[in-house]
Amino acid sequence: MVYSVPLMVFMDDVSGNISKQWNKHHAVYMSNVNLPCKMLEKEFCIKFVMSSPHAAPMEMMSAMQESIRKAVESGVFTWDCKHEEEVMLELYGLFLGGDNPMQAKECIHVGLHCNYFCRTCEVGRTKEYKESDEGYKSIFMPGKLRTPAGTAEEIHAQFSSVLALGATEKIKKSVASSGMKDMTTGYILEMVVELGKKLRKWGAGVQAKPEAEVKAILEKQLKDLLQGVMLDDAINPLLGMEGFNVHQDMPTEILHTVLLGVVKYFWGQSVYLLEKAKLLGIFQMHLDSIKRAGLNAPCLNAEYICHYKGGLIGKHFKSLVQVMPFLIQDLLLRTVLDG
């Protein structure tokens, strides 16, 4: 018997705080997506794969991808305790989990702080355009979907421009216009650009080298840094992962996007208006008296929430977002309620 096993792969950085007690490191885990949701969250159903304070995230992801590829080629033979027979497992990556910044790195995207801020599609444009009426509307419409082939082509274009004059500005413009920057080979681009600047520099007693000689030196440096491998094999390993689309197969992480994003901002605005109108005490009474039985996450300590209103975490917002419309009906302006 052959069973197909879809894998959820999770990678993120942990203990990234400022104190000296912990060292920041990256960790990779896997889960079998065939399991029911209530089992997926249990610790003994989560497979620890690797962790390192030194290896770069994409180096670890490359090793993970290679491990899955080898398992796919040979199959995994194991014992089926239910049917009491030997079975073979066929593994494949279904999607990658993680928070938004890590997922952006995994699909060669620079994140929210660029003109084209979405890692899934090409929505956006310049800051001026997005602030216009037409541009603001366009943000809420899906753009052209990104593809692994298109992303690889953009990275190839950046490597092509690294040998030319003004490489810094060309690469900067490319990143701004596409939102694409490969974290795996980014250091190679930076080193070649810096070397090009030194070779072309001229001044008192310093003669700039001829352009042909500069390009020859840069090409050799680039080849040495790639260590004899082709560029396609050096850039993000997830781009060429079979049956996996790095731009489509990363579900949006809802904690920072929803609860610590839009919900947190609505909460901050609501609390500001309640305090200004001296109605926070009445809001606390509303919150304390509401019935909790039907809540998905009954974390409603009214006194704590109102006292530490600026320091709430995800579980508080998960509870608040379910009850807020009922608590503020007669306390806030209609425009806020409509929002």
For 252-293, write each residue's pLDDT tens digit. Answer: 888 888 898 899 999 999 999 999 999 999 999 999 888 877
* Strand (E) or helix (H) holding 338: helix 334-338
Residue 237 DSSP class: G
Place 121 in a pLDDT band, splitting at 50, 70 and 90: confident
Q: What is the pLDDT of residue 266?
A: 92
Place 87 in a pLDDT band, splitting at 50, 70 and 90: very high
Q: What is the pLDDT of residue 125?
A: 84
92 forms beta bridges with 6
Q: What is the pLDDT of residue 202?
A: 65
More confident residue, 192 or 302: 302
CA geometry: angle 26, 228, 238, nearest 5 deg: 40
Place 204 in a pLDDT band, splitting at 50, 70 and 90: low
Give the span between the Cα atoms of 113 and 148, in whole angstroms: 21
Give the span between the Cα atoms of 113 and 125, in whole angstroms: 12
DSSP per-residue codes, 197-222: HHHH--BTTBPPPPHHHHHHHHHHHH
Q: Report yes or no: 107 and 58 within 8 Å, Cβ to Cβ.
A: no
Place 80 in a pLDDT band, splitting at 50, 70 and 90: very high
Q: How does the average pLDDT of the chain come out, rounded? A: 84
C-alpha 127: how far from chain center: 22
C-alpha R_g of the chain: 26
Q: What is the pLDDT of residue 77?
A: 94
| 149-173: pLDDT as tens digits | 888 888 888 888 877 777 778 888 8
More confident residue, 264 or 240: 264
Place 195 in a pLDDT band, splitting at 50, 70 and 90: confident
Q: What is the pLDDT of residue 335?
A: 86
Q: What is the pLDDT of residue 261?
A: 87
Place 13 in a pLDDT band, splitting at 50, 70 and 90: confident
CA geometry: angle 274, 327, 337, nearest 5 deg: 70
Give the span between the Cα atoms of 34 and 8, in whole angstroms: 10
Residue type, 70: K
**Residue 167 CB partners (closer than 8 Å, separation 6+):** 161, 192, 193, 196
pLDDT above 90 coverage of the chain, percent: 20
Q: What's the Cα-to-Cα distance from 239 to each of 12, 80, 142, 179, 204, rounded to whole Å?
A: 19, 34, 22, 16, 47
Q: Is the pLDDT of residue 19 over 80?
A: no
pLDDT above 70 coverage of the chain, percent: 95
